[in-house]
Amino acid sequence: MSENQPHVAVVGAGIGGLTAAIALRRAGLRVDVYEQAPVLSEIGAGIHLAPNGSRLLVRLGLGKRLDEVAVRPEAMEVRVWDTGAVVVRQPMGDAWQARFDGPHYTLHRADLHGLLAEAVPADLVHVGHRAVAVTEDPGGVRIDFAHGASVRADVVVAADGVHSPLRRPIAGEEPAVFSKTAAIRAVVPSAACPDLPRDALLTWVGPAGRLLAHPVRGGRETAFVAVVADPTDGGDSWSRPADTVALRRAFAGWEPGARALVEAATEAGHWTLYDREPLPRWSTARTTLLGDAAHPMLPHHGQGASQAIEDAVTLAACLARLGTGPSGPAPALRRYEELRLEHTSRVRQGSLGGGSQRLSPTTEESPASPSRPPSSSPSARPGGAGMEELVRDVTWVQRYDVEAELATAGLA
């Protein structure tokens, strides 16, 4: 790695931060990662890695490890909530890999995090470092940590989530729009729901909301998320425990397969869903945002991880090509923002509608509400508009190849 290349400090060792470290090192830059947790670990439940994200990790040399820990579902099914009838079945597997030039994986978030951590030298990841402030000057940027230490770098990348203290100086005061919904997430043994396939993405729609399930860990476990009405604003947190008794009660009248899934959960996480408008900018002269710190979005597209991976690859290319001129890294950060801000804003806009029609039409929101677009009948049967909307076309997201975009921009 050249000493002339900028030294990059990545704040946050989650999926986005670790992918950024891998991509930056591959591009020849010097990197250190600072994580507030005392131990490098990842909690969470199931996660989707769509082709637009998976193909980038494969190109970064992680394809073999992904095949070892992830599942490539063979089909996507939409089922009627009370009968279990399959009303839509769409092939995936090899067909999707050929169609989108990359596999669609489902896996446990901890497994994805673990394989990314393996790819970053341990001496470059500094745990127990909670960043509280950055100070820029003509020669670089200083990061101050809560325990009193500080470090200097040429560039700081905030990849520590929507609540990042490094996001606030760029974002300013921003309202979080409460969606009046929550995502209840859990992982259960697949043996607890033997009538459900272990190789398919499943979606049910009903009066309690929407239930989605997918296999993880070779099909031995099944991850699910229930998107339910949540009229009480419980705070902008994704990590508080869910009430599993209330969860089972909400789905008590559903078909046996769906009911077995939620009844198997002895613990679950309650993620109150909030939306935020896209930021007008992500960067200063030496600091930029990545992943949820830059563009938090509702989870209905399953694109959180893939968008962070796209950010990481784009940022690495921009800093490698544009980060060493007389103006320092500022032109590289501006170009990164230009390449990513519009695209992620469009994905975020799509995520608003991705779960809206799954809930009861008795909601009081206006059809134009930014926090919940129009809903349709949860009891839709085959041929109904609600079921058709469940398989709306999001292939433009999956087809998007950020490296082709970089090549067009002369940054490949």
CB 113 within 8 A of CB 42: yes
Of the two residues 375 and 57, the one the predictor is more confident about is 57
For residue 286, report the phi and psi dihedrals to the nearest 5 degrees: -135, 0
CB 9 within 8 A of CB 148: no
Q: Which pLDDT tens digit goes with each residue over 162-206?
A: 888 999 889 888 878 888 889 999 999 999 999 999 999 999 989
How far apart, in whole angstroms, are the C-alpha atoms of residue 147 and residue 185?
33
Q: How many CB atoms lie within 10 A of CB 5?
A: 18
**Cβ-based burial of 377 (10 A; exposed 0-12, middle 13-18, buried ≥19):** middle
- Which two tokens mark 11? 């704040």
269's CB contacts (< 8 A; 6+ apart) are 44, 45, 184, 185, 186, 238, 239, 240, 241, 242
Of the two residues 365 and 6, the one the predictor is more confident about is 6
CB 400 within 8 A of CB 306: no
- Which two tokens mark 392? 């709306």
Tell me which H or E stretch contains 397: helix 395-399
Q: How many CB atoms lie within 10 A of CB 147?
A: 9
Secondary structure (DSSP) of 249-312: HHTTTS-HHHHHHHHT-S--EEEEEEE-PPPS----SSEEE-GGGT----GGGS-HHHHHHHHH
**Cβ-based burial of 408 (10 A; exposed 0-12, middle 13-18, buried ≥19):** exposed
Angle between helices 304-322 and 330-353 (to 10 degrees): 160
Q: Strands across the sheet with 140-145, in order?
A: 131-137, 140-145, 150-153
Of the two residues 179 and 311, the one the predictor is more confident about is 311
**Cβ-based burial of 278 (10 A; exposed 0-12, middle 13-18, buried ≥19):** middle
Mean pLDDT lowest among 87-91, 94-98, 368-372, 387-391: 368-372
What average pLDDT does this structure show over 11-27? 97
- Which two tokens mark 202? 């499943």
134's CB contacts (< 8 A; 6+ apart) are 141, 142, 143, 144, 156, 166, 169, 287
How far apart, in whole angstroms, are the C-alpha atoms of residue 250 and residue 334?
47
Maximum CA pair distance of the chain?
Answer: 66
- The pLDDT, as a whole number, for residue 373 is 29
Question: Any idea what DSSP says for residue 218?
Answer: G
Angle between helices 15-26 and 109-118 (to 10 degrees): 30
CB 38 within 8 A of CB 128: yes
Q: Which pLDDT tens digit goes with each residue over 70-118?
A: 999 999 999 999 999 999 899 999 999 999 999 999 999 999 999 999 9
CB 177 within 8 A of CB 276: yes
**Residue 254: CA atoms inside 13 Å, Cβ hemisphere, count?**
28
CB 375 within 8 A of CB 356: yes
How far apart, in whole angstroms, are the C-alpha atoms of residue 187 and residue 313?
30
**What is the reported pTM?**
0.90
What average pLDDT does this structure show over 35-55? 90
In terms of Cα–Cα distance, which of 256, 330, 316 is closest to 286? 330
Instruction: Indicate the pLDDT class of residue 274, thresholds 50, 70 and 90.
Output: confident
- The pLDDT, as a whole number, for residue 3 is 60
Tell me which H or E stretch contains 116: helix 109-118
